[in-house]
Chain A
């Protein structure tokens, strides 16, 4: 792609991601509604999709209040971090063979870096609010994110080993014969769990945990700043789905249909899965979450790493013979 083309695509991508996240707020409520024997927002426009516009208008016109007891600078800065980090994360996603913003040989690491920066939003939001519930939410998120990041990165190293590159395009290309969801089933499983934890959605929404911490880290937030948190969360959801598609389900690969459509279909299916997961599972306790992370998930990823390493060496050996 030309320079100009890349820039145009980048801007389009931002618009699509933000728009997608906005529609997702409506889609999630509708889907959960159907699942829970109720309607969800169905009043405005066809199927209620006008709700997205109504919600946006409401959030935009709300009083932009900063609590007088908060740390104003950090309080305002915090919600922007997650949106910026998540949008940057989209830069490395290859949507189709020629459709991407960046193809760098550390694409995967770039993605990991951006998700780890998104943590600050939650953390600083909780700290700046000067509210005990927000503080507890922030503390929880710090512990949760740091723990889950460890094996989030490790769970992907199997994929990297099999491909021999951090480039996401190379990873997709390497799945021509077999999607990595088969040889890397352990990696997929652990990455899925880490992904939910990173986007702090139910069942791993402990930083927010409405029933325990009222609204956790964003207790004091309202209006547009709250909308930024929500936007970040939904962007995170889409990004994680994109990544799982890319890393484990062959990205744009697929017969008959155009590559971009394949990519979108796969991502959409994963998003639905995440939404339904939210409707199904209760929330573990904070220490149980930590136990799950360190005592089960981490060993599992390490096991995956060793197995994949052995497999890779075996294949290498056969090739030489």
Chain B
């Protein structure tokens, strides 16, 4: 039962991702990407990591993708954007990266074959995640927070330029 669900979700994730790659219309591609993220969330859940699944939905599907849509709206790409997308979907543009990626995938499969990772049946509940983050990985958390702070300051600096210009106009 669980296995069927797992492979079903995996299939959806793969199809949606492929569709997201091949759509010329940015909005359509994004919807597929969201579906793909939701499918991945289901995979996490089935693998016994409900917390990661929830975060996948709340943060990736629910917030980051919203910003993507926001940007698409702001840029207001019309037919010209779609034409450009179609141009990029020609084989000569993606064939080399495609081959390289396929090679990597092959390598990964081979590596997994030689020393299979033990898929633990243990459930990773929110408490464990918290203990792990603020226990052994506390340094990583701190570094990440510093990085985010730097990004925040940078964003403010870039945004200020526009605020100042707007006030000049008044």
Contacts and interface: CB of A to CB of B under 8 A. Distances in A.
A and B touch in the complex (CB under 8 A): yes
Interface of A: 71, 73-74, 77, 104-106, 109-110, 112-114, 116-117, 119-120, 123-124, 126-128, 135, 138-139, 142-143, 145-146, 149, 153, 166
Contacts of A124: 27, 31, 69
B50 A104 contact: yes
Nearest to A114: B57
B70 interface: yes
- Main secondary structure on chain B at its contact with chain A? helix
A139 B50 contact: no
Interface stretch (B59-67, B84-92, B93-101, B153-161): B59-67
B66 A123 contact: yes
Contacts of B126: 105-106, 109, 166
A140 to B, nearest CB: 10
B117 interface: no
Contacts of B142: none
A106 B69 CA distance: 27
Interface of B: 25, 27-28, 31, 34, 38, 41, 50-51, 53-55, 57-58, 61-63, 66-67, 69-70, 72-74, 76, 125-126
B134 to A, nearest CB: 13
Contact of A117 (B25, B61, B72, B73): B61
B57 A116 contact: yes
B58 A113 contact: yes
A139 B75 CA distance: 11
A116 B73 contact: no
Nearest to A138: B73
A105 B50 contact: yes
25 contacts: A71-B27, A71-B28, A73-B28, A106-B50, A109-B58, A110-B57, A112-B58, A112-B62, A116-B57, A116-B58, A116-B61, A117-B38, A119-B62, A123-B69, A127-B69, A127-B73, A135-B73, A138-B73, A139-B70, A139-B73, A139-B74, A143-B70, A146-B70, A149-B58, A149-B62
Given A117-B38, A123-B69, A142-B70, 17 more contacts: A77-B31, A106-B50, A106-B126, A109-B55, A109-B58, A110-B54, A112-B54, A113-B54, A113-B58, A114-B57, A116-B58, A117-B62, A119-B62, A123-B73, A124-B31, A143-B70, A146-B66
Given A71-B25, A77-B31, A120 B66 contact: yes
Contacts of A105: 50, 125-126
Contacts of B28: 71, 73-74
Given A106-B54, A113-B58, A139-B73, A149 B63 contact: yes
Contacts of A113: 41, 54, 57-58, 61-62
Contact of B66 (A73, A128, A142, A166): A142
B73 A142 contact: yes
B51 to A, nearest CB: 6
Contacts of A145: 66
A269 B147 CA distance: 45
A126 B70 CA distance: 11
Contacts of A135: 73, 76
Most chain A CB atoms below 10 A, which of B27, B34, B58, B125: B58
A39 to B, nearest CB: 41
A126 B73 contact: yes
B14 to A, nearest CB: 21
A146 B54 contact: no
Given A71-B25, A105-B125, A135-B73, A146 B67 contact: yes
Contacts of B74: 139
Contact of B54 (A71, A109, A139): A109
Contacts of B53: 106
Most chain A CB atoms below 10 A, which of B38, B41, B70: B70
A69 to B, nearest CB: 11
A153 B58 contact: yes
Contacts of B66: 116, 119-120, 123, 142, 145-146
B126 to A, nearest CB: 6
Contacts of A138: 73
Contacts of B51: 106, 109
A117 B54 CA distance: 12
B49 to A, nearest CB: 10
A71 B82 CA distance: 13
Given A74-B31, A105-B125, A142 B67 contact: yes
